[in-house]
Amino acid sequence: MGSGAFSCRRLNPVSVWASALLLMQSTVLAADFDPSVMTLSAATLVANQPLQGEHYRIADQVINRGFMNHYTVSSDFGEFSADSDQRLRALLHELKAIDKLRGLQKTDVFGEAVVSAAQKPIQTVQKIAEQPVDTLKGVPQGVGRLFKRTARQISDATKEAKRLNDERKEKSAQQDGESESDPVSGTEIVEQGAEAGIEWGKSQLGQNKSIRTLAKQLGVDPYSPNKVLQNELSEVAWVMTAGSFGAGQVVPGLPSGIDTLSDVNDLVWDTHPVDLQLRNEKSLAEMGVSEDEVKRFFSNKHYSPSLQTMVVSALEKLDRVRGRAVLVDAAVAAESRSEALAFAEIAESFADYHSRQQPAASIAGSAIWPLLETRSGTYVFFAPVDYLGWTSSVSASATSLTEDLRKRAPGHKLELRVQGGMSSLARRQLESLGWVCVASTGRSKQ
């Protein structure tokens, strides 16, 4: 890393510690480093949760490659992996929800509703085939907006494909001796249009709303990446929609397992995804985020409606804080769901610190990811990692970041907040660089 202003757009945010540029000599005195890969015991990591429950077992061996704990969970519903402490908590809650949904499907009343539901798809298809115009006339008001939305998504996809083609051609022209990249196929555009059409159909039949209703009762994310949970939600929701099975007959819910703010949960559960995106787009535009960045943010498939709403809602709580567009600009670069979740957690950490610790003045960019600048003159860096060890790349990254911040504002204090734990060595070395370190869990490894 060098000094001066940085752009976050093209960086890989979650793995940035591991890929830090090694262009500068570390000023840290000690030559010792923590291992870059550690094998840990789940028994020492999982608090207030048994390693084996009624329907699951957490493998004791946990792999940490410097930042996140990777768990393996076997269950009655299949084997799952969780790539962080946060994801493990959500997964264990989802397993309880799956158990409730499967138990529900074994009841007599559900079986009777299945018979009723089985007829509806046939009747609906026949009606549309025989009387397409009259059928569509009977669709509730607001469908025109959804049709426009679908057309807009396809149009945006076409423009994005053209943009990517232009970028690839330009990059190819700049790289001597390399063959030109293959152009973006129109297949992706067609697939996006088909997907939008399917979602529209499900929406009009009420299945999406039933999925969100179920998810709310069970306290789970309706857009969870857990495919088993999604299948169970979808099956029960269809019977709720097409059969005689009402939402009131669902087994009593579970305490929420979503690690987000309650108002975000309600927005995600109670709002149609199209309306949710429209709301979030409008909010970002009002914050001064450019139209291009808004489009890029919502076209990034690693952000589910839940994660999008987490980011936007957190930024809304930073009213009158400068530089909110800086975080969106960085978040656009997420290359996986884990990275998207990291940005959502950073945004929520900003909002929480602003309201509970010190008022924020601005969000500033860096070569790693955005950080918070307080009104009292402190740079606060949030690391959404399970465990921070002191490796050679962390050393180089921390040293470079420190030098840059010292050049920007020599009198500013430096504060590092780690979501999980950190090694004793990491704490000592960071403190020697002038950082005040706060590890949320208080875990440390000698």
- pLDDT tens readout for residues 130-141: 444 444 444 444
- pLDDT tens readout for residues 225-246: 999 999 999 888 887 776 665 5
Percent of the chain with pLDDT over 90: 55
Lowest mean pLDDT across 133-137, 162-166, 378-382? 133-137
Predicted pLDDT at 239: 79
Q: Domains of the chain: which residue ranges?
A: 38-83, 104-173+184-258, 322-439
Mean pLDDT for all residues in the chain: 78
Predicted pLDDT at 264: 80
C-alpha 256/C-alpha 319 separation (Å) is 28
pLDDT band at 174 (very low <50, low <70, confident <90, very high): low
Chain Cα centroid distance, residue 57: 25
Angle between helices 305-316 and 324-331 (to 10 degrees): 160
pLDDT band at 3 (very low <50, low <70, confident <90, very high): very low
Percent of the chain with pLDDT over 70: 66
Could you tell me which residue, 234 or 435, shows the higher pLDDT? 435
Q: What class has domain 322-439? A: alpha beta
The residue type of 102 is R
- Mean pLDDT in residue range 158-183: 59
Read off φ and ψ for residue 320, nearest 5 degrees.
70, 10
Predicted pLDDT at 114: 72
Per DSSP, the residues of 134-187 read: HHHHTSPTTHHHHHHHHHHHHHHHHHHHHHHHHHHHHHHHHSTT-PPPPPPPTH
Asked if the model's pLDDT at residue 418 lies above 70, the reply is yes
Asked if the model's pLDDT at residue 293 lies above 80, the reply is yes
Lowest mean pLDDT across 68-72, 119-123, 142-146, 436-440? 142-146
The burial class, CB within 10 Å (0-12 / 13-18 / 19+), for 237 is buried
Q: Which two tokens stand for residue 47?
A: 């608090």
Asked if the model's pLDDT at residue 425 lies above 50, the reply is yes
Read off φ and ψ for residue 58, nearest 5 degrees.
-90, 125
Instruction: List beta partners, residue 371.
Output: 364
Are the CB atoms for 365 and 7 separated by under 8 Å?
yes
Could you tell me which residue, 49 or 306, shows the higher pLDDT? 306
Predicted pLDDT at 160: 58
Could you tell me which residue, 137 or 56, shows the higher pLDDT? 56
- pLDDT tens readout for residues 245-283: 555 555 555 555 555 555 688 999 999 999 999 999 999
Predicted pLDDT at 48: 79
Please enumerate in sequence order all residues whose Cβ is within 8 A of that of 42, keeping only pairs 6 or more positions apart, or say none: 51, 58, 59, 60, 61, 62, 71
Predicted pLDDT at 189: 53
Asked if the model's pLDDT at residue 367 lies above 80, the reply is yes
Strands (E), 15-131: 38-41, 56-58, 61-64, 69-75, 78-82
